[in-house]
Structure 1
Amino acid sequence: MAFLELDHVSKRFGGHVAVEGFCLSVAKGEFISFLGPSGCGKTTTLQMIAGFLDPSGGAIRLDGRDLARVRPARRGLGIVFQSYALFPHLTAAENIAFGLEMRGVPRAEREARVRDALAMVGLAGYGERHPRRMSGGQQQRVALARALVIRPDVLLLDEPLSNLDAKLREDMQIELRQIQRNLGTTTVLVTHDQTEAMALSDRIVVMSKGRIEQIGTPHETYERPASAFVSHFLGKTNEFPAEVRPNGSGRVLVAGSCRWPAPAGPSGAVTITVRPEKVAFADGTADGLAARIANRIFQGNHWLFQCETECGAALVVRQNNGERQPAEGEAVRLVWRAEDMGLRRGGEA
């Protein structure tokens, strides 16, 4: 049974449709990410869950309770904003205790829960510091502790890591996921960062222009994108025009000089999609797609090759394992496994 449910939720601002037909069921303890570019409706959807915006249509239910007439403060939600929104004149401990005070929690219990919350986010001993004396990462932890100390039914995260530098953001992703797993708090994250969504989520809701493009696990959405938008938004991808042709009793998939048994699906003109890390250089055979190395870029733990092929441009990612790497201008052949391909009707977006 769904713990948090959005049933055909929509939001319009005058003639502008910000969210349309949003349907999602979230299990208790699940970590969900709303992922998409700016203006896709992900923050608007989060604000409707929080109660800051009223839906123009549809329903939002939490544990079977319709939230339509429930004020934000009564919804039992914890929220962490992009700006953290800490009170500068209060210490870390006082910031964390604020929600407990508003709920009338007795002082002794309040102090114990604040100590536990500080320890949970790795800030034991920092309770008397003010936000101005704390780093961005420490302020983010205080904001997270403040949201969790009230023991919310659902934790809402509005791009909380976007202000951190890359290394700290990666560290905080690991810590945030561990905290969420330990507590079992149902969590909804808004982000435009594909890596962040894939690192943290049980499922990802990919959005574009106010609509859901795909819902799936990180592996499903990356490996089997439902549309060209999802394929490109979740990372680099190669696309090759191809054709499915009859072949005796079966069918064959043809792209340039490459041929594979055609999977079930469309016939005629199609587009093959394959991620760059799935592509390899053929080893001393005539198999694969003929290509020439146009450019190669060393990126630390791997090489990125830009290739020209008879089917168009291609990217190849190859791990730097000490073997000789093809030189610029060198003729190669590109190969990949049939099971690593996606297949889309030709011209579909």
Structure 2
Amino acid sequence: MDIELVSLTKRYGDTVAVDGINLKIRSGSYCCLLGPSGCGKTTTLQMIAGFLTPSRGTIRLEGRDLTQVHPSKRGLGIVFQSYALFPHMTAAENVAFGLEMQRVGKAERTERVRAALAMVGLAAYEDRHPRRMSGGQQQRVALARALVIRPSVLLLDEPLSNLDAKLREEMQIELRQIQRNLGTTTILVTHDQGEALSLSDRIVVMSKGRIEQIGTPQDTYERPASAFVAQFLGKTNDFSARVEGAAPARIVVGGWSAPAPVGVRGPVTVSVRPERIGFAQDGLPARVAARIFQGNHWLFQCETECGPAIVVRPNDGLPQPGEGEAVRLAWRQDDMSIRDGSLSAGAAA
């Protein structure tokens, strides 16, 4: 079901945790609230869940106002960061708990619990207690418990943050597959940029209680709407640049230049992702300060007249510049974003 937040606000005295955000999440989509600690993403999720009462604004599910509805009556599934499993209950008993609260009959309850555990790959763990399960298995039990009640919306509060890197990556794939198979509207809260990029259909980047940008993972990454988004969502290079000439004007960054988008003038900042920069015959003069091998790619730290630059190049077996070597950096016009304090646009827009 569609879920809509209208002027949603949460205040604690003089502190504004969530500042009048407006957001519509389409039915069946996977939406991620992304931002640093204290940005308001978890507070927003808790208001949707009903654990916190908004200071102002409304929460609508398929047009129905949920703002004053008790959490148990909202029909939402929730997976917490701590999993919150009952230690004295088996996996099957944990998963069945919500169905018991809904007074689902025993035969149907047993069938749905088995189906939910099978869906998350734990069919053989029905009788196992949480203390005898790994972190990944406990996470799956928590997910099965949330899904077994057939929620209209699934809320995930940093559910993978307690897992090691390899298991977290595996669970990201499983979560996405399960969500696609069920078509459940899903809202994920995370501070992990990689998790947001790999899982979601839409990313909502938040800062200081406000929404900085909403977009697909690719658009948000490649065309950040602000300096905050550019810096928070992955690595980026910011170069001081100038606009020269008129009709047509050109953006100039050291020895690199390209046609300027219509309406861009004066001093600007050009942002380019590290993997979009290449070594070329002509371009911005630079010196390789450090070269770091990272398996499938090389990371170069370069010094330029426009400031430091990070360059990421694939490990394709070709010779790479060494430390101290003079190079020139270049990139395509479509691979940069431009800011001047009042303008935030992709160069190709």
- TM norm structure 1: 0.97
Q: Contact conserved, 1:95 with 1:146, CA < 8 A, in 2?
A: yes
**Residue 317 of structure 2 aligns with which residue?**
322
Q: Contact conserved, 1:96 with 1:114, CA < 8 A, in 2?
A: yes
**Residue 301 of structure 1 aligns with which residue?**
296
Q: d(CA) in 2 for partners of 1:117 and 1:73? A: 20
Q: Contact conserved, 1:228 with 1:348, CA < 8 A, in 2?
A: no
Residue type of the alignment partner of 1:146: R
**Residue 272 of structure 1 aligns with which residue?**
270
Residue type of the alignment partner of 1:51: G
Residue type of the alignment partner of 2:253: A
Which structure 1 segments of 5+ residues have no match? none
Query: Moved runs in structure 1, 4+ residues, more than 3 A?
Result: 346-349
Deviation of 1:310 (Å): 1.6
Q: d(CA) in 2 for partners of 1:257 and 1:26? A: 44
**Residue 253 of structure 2 aligns with which residue?**
255
**Residue 22 of structure 1 aligns with which residue?**
21
1:86 equivalent to 2:81? Answer: no
Q: Equivalent of 1:333, from 325, 328, 331?
A: 328
Three-state SS of the structure 1 residue aligned to 2:27 is coil
Which structure 2 segments of 5+ residues have no match? 345-349
Three-state SS of the structure 2 residue aligned to 1:273 is strand
Deviation of 1:346 (Å): 5.4
**Residue 235 of structure 1 aligns with which residue?**
234
**1:1-349 matches, cutoff 5 A:** 3-247=2-246, 249-282=247-280, 285=281, 287-345=282-340
State percent identity of aligned pairs.
72
Deviation of 1:246 (Å): 2.0
Three-state SS of the structure 2 residue aligned to 1:250 is coil
**Cα root mean square deviation, aligned:** 1.2
Q: d(CA) in 1 for partners of 2:82 and 2:253? A: 49
- TM norm structure 2: 0.97
Q: d(CA) in 2 for partners of 1:81 and 1:117? A: 18
Q: d(CA) in 1 for partners of 2:289 and 2:50? A: 53
Deviation of 1:348 (Å): 8.0
Q: d(CA) in 1 for partners of 2:35 and 2:90? A: 35
Q: d(CA) in 1 for partners of 2:84 and 2:136? A: 14
Q: d(CA) in 1 for partners of 2:139 and 2:196? A: 18
Q: Provide, for residues 297-335 of structure 1, a one-character-per-residue CA deviation record: whole Å limited to 9, x for no partner.
A: 011111100001121111100111111110101111111
Q: Contact conserved, 1:41 with 1:208, CA < 8 A, in 2?
A: yes
Residue type of the alignment partner of 2:209: G
Count of matched residue pairs: 344
Deviation of 1:143 (Å): 0.1
Q: d(CA) in 1 for partners of 2:151 and 2:181? A: 14
Three-state SS of the structure 1 residue aligned to 2:99 is helix
Q: Contact conserved, 1:269 with 1:346, CA < 8 A, in 2?
A: no
